[in-house]
Amino acid sequence: MCIDEGGWRAMGRFGRRIIAGRWFMVFSCLLILSVSGGTYIFGLYSEDIKKTLGYDQTTLNLISFFKELGANIGIISGLINEVTPPWVVLLLGAAMNFSGYFFIWLAVSGHIANPQVWWMCLCICVGANSQTFANTGALVTCVKNFPESRGIVIGLLKGYVGLSGAIISQIYHALYGDDGKSLILLIAWLPAVVSGVFLRTVRVMKVNIGQANELKVFYNLLFVSFGLAGVLMAIIIVQNRVTFNRLDYVICVSIIVVFLFSPMILVIREEMMVWKRKKEMLGDPLTLSIREVGDRDRDRDTRKNEAIEATMTVLWYQSVFSPPERGEDYTILQAVLSVDMLILFTVTITGAGGTLTAIDNLGQIGKSLGYPDKSITTFVSLVSIWGYLGRVASGFASEIFLAKYKFPRPLMLTLVLLLSCGGHLLIAFGVPNSLYAASVLIGLCFGALWPLIFSIISELFGLKHYSTLLNFGGAASPVGAYIFNVRVAGVLYDKEGTKQMEDQGIIRQPGEDLSCTGVECFKLAFLIIAASSFVGCIVSLILVARTRKFYRSDIYKRFREQADPPVVEPESTTITGMNAPMPPSSAHYSHRFCKNGGRRED
In tens, the pLDDT along 511-532 reads: 566 778 899 999 999 999 999 9
**Per-residue pLDDT for 209 more than 60?**
no
Pairing of strands 286-288, 573-575: antiparallel
386: alpha, beta or left, given left = phi > 0 and alpha = psi -120 to 50?
Answer: alpha
End-to-end C-alpha distance for the chain, whole angstroms:
14
**Per-residue pLDDT for 245 more than 50?**
yes
| Dist. CA 46–CA 82, nearest whole Å | 35
What pLDDT is attached to residue 291? 44
Q: Residues with Cβ < 8 Å from 146, sequence gap 6 or more?
A: 152, 153, 214
**Per-residue pLDDT for 315 more than 70?**
no
What pLDDT is attached to residue 510? 61
Looking at the DSSP assignment, which residues form a beta bridge with residue 287?
574
Q: Residues with Cβ < 8 Å from 2, sequence gap 6 or more?
A: 599, 600
**Per-residue pLDDT for 545 more than 60?**
yes
**Per-residue pLDDT for 541 more than 90?**
yes
| Dist. CA 386–CA 372, nearest whole Å | 21
More confident residue, 12 or 424: 424
What pLDDT is attached to residue 512? 62
Confidence of residue 94 (pLDDT cuts 50, 70, 90): very high
| Dist. CA 448–CA 341, nearest whole Å | 19
What pLDDT is attached to residue 100? 92
| Dist. CA 21–CA 13, nearest whole Å | 12
Rg (CA), the chain: 26
pTM above threshold 0.75: no
**Per-residue pLDDT for 583 more than 80?**
no
pLDDT digits (tens, 9 = 90+) for 274-311: 777 776 666 544 444 444 444 455 555 555 555 444 44
Among 130-144, 359-373, 552-566, which is the least confidently predicted range? Answer: 552-566
What pLDDT is attached to residue 576? 37
- Tell me the percentage of the chain whose pLDDT exceeds 70: 81
**Per-residue pLDDT for 567 more than 60?**
no
What pLDDT is attached to residue 528? 96
Of 383, 451, 409, nearest to 139 by C-alpha is 451
Looking at the DSSP assignment, which residues form a beta bridge with residue 575?
286
| Dist. CA 501–CA 495, nearest whole Å | 10
Max distance between CA atoms of the chain, in angstroms, equals 96
- Is there a contact between 598 and 578 (Cβ–Cβ < 8 Å)? yes
Angle (CA) 386-387-390 rounded to 5° is: 85
| Dist. CA 220–CA 267, nearest whole Å | 11
Average pLDDT, the chain: 80
Other Cβ atoms less than 10 A from the Cβ of 5: the count is 13
| Dist. CA 12–CA 229, nearest whole Å | 34
Give the three-class secondary structure for 576.
Answer: coil
Looking at residue 268, its amino acid is: I
Angle (CA) 135-210-466 rounded to 5° is: 30
**Per-residue pLDDT for 489 more than 80?**
yes
- Is there a contact between 477 and 39 (Cβ–Cβ < 8 Å)? no
Confidence of residue 574 (pLDDT cuts 50, 70, 90): very low
- The phi and psi torsions of 229 (rounded to 5 degrees) equal -65, -40
CA 138 to chain CA mean position, Å: 8
- Is there a contact between 114 and 53 (Cβ–Cβ < 8 Å)? yes
- Is there a contact between 498 and 508 (Cβ–Cβ < 8 Å)? yes
Confidence of residue 40 (pLDDT cuts 50, 70, 90): confident
pLDDT digits (tens, 9 = 90+) for 414-425: 999 999 999 999
More confident residue, 41 or 339: 339
What pLDDT is attached to residue 404? 86
More confident residue, 103 or 149: 103
Looking at residue 187, its amino acid is: I
What pLDDT is attached to residue 596? 43
Q: Residues with Cβ < 8 Å from 148, sequence gap 6 or more?
A: 209, 210, 556, 559, 560
pLDDT digits (tens, 9 = 90+) for 250-261: 999 999 999 999
Q: Which CATH class for the 24-205+212-280+322-499+512-560 domain?
A: mainly alpha
**Per-residue pLDDT for 381 more than 60?**
yes
What pLDDT is attached to residue 76? 87
